[in-house]
Structure 1
Amino acid sequence: MFSGATQGLIFVVIVLPIAAVVHAPGVHAHLSVHWWVVLTLVPLACLAMTSLGLLLGTSFEPRNTGVMFGFVVLPLVFLGGTYYQWTRLSLVHVGGFHWLQVLVLANPLIYITEGMRAAFTDTSHMPLYVIYPVLTAFCVLFLGLGLRNFRHRVLS
C-alpha cells in the first residue's frame, strides 16, 4: 500500500499523462490544467483520505470490513460528485429545499472532486476558497480522531 504522498505523485506523474492521451475512440480530453491547484490540492486530498483511512481502520473491527464498505465507503463514493457536478443536485428538492445538495456537503469527497474539476477543467466548480478550508478541516478532524482511536487500540 502506498502512502498518500506517493499516491499523489503517482497520479501526477503516471495517471494524468496517460489519461490525457489514452481514451475511447471519439472522445477528446479537454484539459485545462491549473498547476498551482494540482500541486496544492492533490497532497491535501491525499492527506485527508489517508487520515480518513486511519479513522475507518481504527473504528471498525476487521471482521466488519464488509459492513464498512456497505455503509460508509459506497455512500462516500456515490455521493462524492465523481459522476456528476455538485450543482446538478439542486434539481433534487422537496418543498423548495435542496436537501441532497446540502446533505452531500458532509462528504469530504465532494470537495476533492470539485477541486479536481477546478484543477483540470474550466467548467464550473465549487469555489476554491470553500474547498481548501473545508478539506483542511476534514483532514484535521479525521487525523485527530484516527490518532485517538489508534492510541486507544494500542494501549488497550
Structure 2
Amino acid sequence: MARFKHYDYNQTKMIPLRFADQIQPGTFEYTLSHVVDHDLDMSLFESRYRNDYNGAPAYDPAILLKIVLFAYSRGITSSRKIAQACRENVLFMTLSADSQPHHSTIAEFITQMDDVIAPLFTQLKGAKPFRFTQGMHSHAGAWERVKRSDPFNVPDDSLIAFSFPPR
C-alpha cells in the first residue's frame, strides 16, 4: 500500500509579516507609494474634511489614493472589488497599511474627490522624467517600468497610464 506524508489542515501556523517589507524597490507599487508620499501635494484633500473637533477620524487620502490607483492599474475599478483586495491581497494590505476601508468609503472618495485627484497629476506634466532607484521612472502622469540597464529605453507594452473610468 502506498504511503504519503502526513498533513493536517487543522494545524496553526503564525507567519510574521511586516508590511513595509512587502513593497520592493523597483516595482510599480513602490514607485506609486513613493510618488504619493513624497511628490504629490496631498494638502488639496484636507479642506474637504470637516472632522477636526467632532466626527470619526477619516482614512488618510494618501492611502485611499494609493489603493485606488493601484487597483486601476490592475484593471480593478469596482469599489467592492478594491475593498475585497484590501482584505485578501498582501500588496493592497501593504498600500492601505491594513486599514481595510469599506467599499462605500472607496466609492465616495472616488466620486467626491475626482476634481481633486485629477489636478494632482498635472503637477507631473511637463516635468522632466525623474528616475527612482531600481529602475522606475515617471513622466506626465504615466508610469513606466524601465529596463535597469537602460532607463531611457522603454518597451511599448510597459506603459501604464492612469485614467478614471467613465461614469
TM-score range, shorter chain: under 0.3
Taking structure 1 as the reference length, the TM-score comes to 0.27
Superposition TM-score, scaled by structure 2 size: 0.26
Q: Which has the higher helix share?
A: 1
* Bigger strand share: 2
Larger Cα Rg: Structure 1 or Structure 2? 2
